Amino acid sequence: MTATSADWRPRLAPAIVLRHDRVRDTDLLLLPERVVVLRGAAGAVVGLCDGTRSVRDIVGELAGRFPGTPVATDVPPFLEDMREEGWLR
């Protein structure tokens, strides 16, 4: 994690909404013309992307929720991939 990426405060892009589908018990990203199904802990990660937490804060929060998982190595690239898709700002 570089200093710049660690300080980035990701938030959902305009017109994108995070919703939980109770019927399927999964989190979804609702985009203007499609739906993205978030698998595993992806919904928990995206749920922390509110523009107030830095990537470092998100990693710290998730490390507490999911001890023993490779949060520090998995979350920053996941967030960067979502930014490249245009889903996060």
pLDDT, position 64: 96
Cβ atoms of 27 and 4 within 8 Å: the answer is no
Which are the contacts of 64, defined by CB distance < 8 A and separation ≥ 6?
none
Q: 50-77, pLDDT tens digit by residue?
A: 999 999 999 999 999 999 999 999 999 9
Cβ atoms of 27 and 77 within 8 Å: the answer is no
Q: 19-54, pLDDT tens digit by residue?
A: 999 999 999 999 999 999 999 999 999 999 999 999
pLDDT, position 12: 98
- Distance between start and end Cα atoms, the chain: 17
Q: Which domains does the chain have, with CATH numbers?
A: 3-84 (1.10.10.1150)
* Cα distance between residue 43 and residue 52, in whole Å: 17
pTM above 0.85, yes or no: yes
Tally Cβ neighbours within 10 Å of residue 68: 6
